[in-house]
Amino acid sequence: MKKISFLIGMVLLVACANPEIDLLKKSVSELNKQNIELKKDIAEVKSKLSETDRRLQTNIEDTKLNSEALITLKSDLKSLENRVHERLKSLDQSKSSKTDTNQPKVQVSADSNKVYIDDDIADKTTLYNLALELYKSGRYDESLSKFRSFVVRFPSDGLADNALYWMGEIYIQLGDFEKAYDSFKNVFENYPTENKVPDAMYKAAITLDKLNKRDEAVDLLKKVILNFQYSEVSKFAKDKLKEWGIANE
């Protein structure tokens, strides 16, 4: 009887334990799944960290390269600034060290209308470019002297009309509108086929107006519009007539 009771107790114990075992197995299975998901998440985080680290390293290298490039650029700019400074200094020293015998000389022949100018610069391109740079630097008297020398020495050169035009611009800056007009007029009368003619005619009209000769100025602007209708200066001429309240017939 005792044996039977013992066996019945064991059977009941095993029967009660089975649900707990199943529950335990289920918990273990869930933990395994969570472990697998966790490993995936860890792997993904590691991958993102690796990519972030790579990008960070790339940015650091780019920043370093940009810094080096900036340093190089600053060095180049400083070098260029020094060269420009030395060039200007050299020009000033050259100017101050010249004696009277080295300065451009003006000679008047028996025909008082002919003037010959000797300049120490032999190359015409150098002479013209120097004159233009002097103009851009606001050194008008020196620029005027060089342009005048160019026109007298190389009257047939393709840049002679340009030189005369810039002389006119210089005279405007100096407030001498009579000489400015003469320079511009020289361009379209003596170099009628050259490129500076439209601009010279327009500027001549402006100087005529400054000289209280608006009627002549208007006639000249109308000629610009008629002869150079497709040029930009033609538009300027039309705008100027409109500003003066004059219709372009």
> Contact 240/206 with Cβ under 8 angstroms?
yes
What does the pLDDT read at residue 189?
Answer: 96
What does the pLDDT read at residue 114?
Answer: 40
Is the per-residue pLDDT at 48 higher than 70?
Answer: yes
What does the pLDDT read at residue 176?
Answer: 97
What share of the chain in percent tops pLDDT 70? 60
CA 79 to chain centre: 19
CA angle (170 as vertex; 141, 151 as ends), nearest 5: 80
* More confident call, 66 vs 240: 240
What does the pLDDT read at residue 107?
Answer: 40
Tokens read off for 136? 């851009």
Q: 14: number of CA atoms within 13 Å, CB side?
A: 5
pLDDT tens digits, residue range 190-219? 999 999 999 999 999 999 999 999 999 999
What does the pLDDT read at residue 117?
Answer: 47
* Torsion sign across C-alpha atoms 158, 160, 163, 168: negative
pTM, rounded to two decimals:
0.54
Among residues 207, 148, 209, the alpha carbon closest in space to that of 175 is found at 207
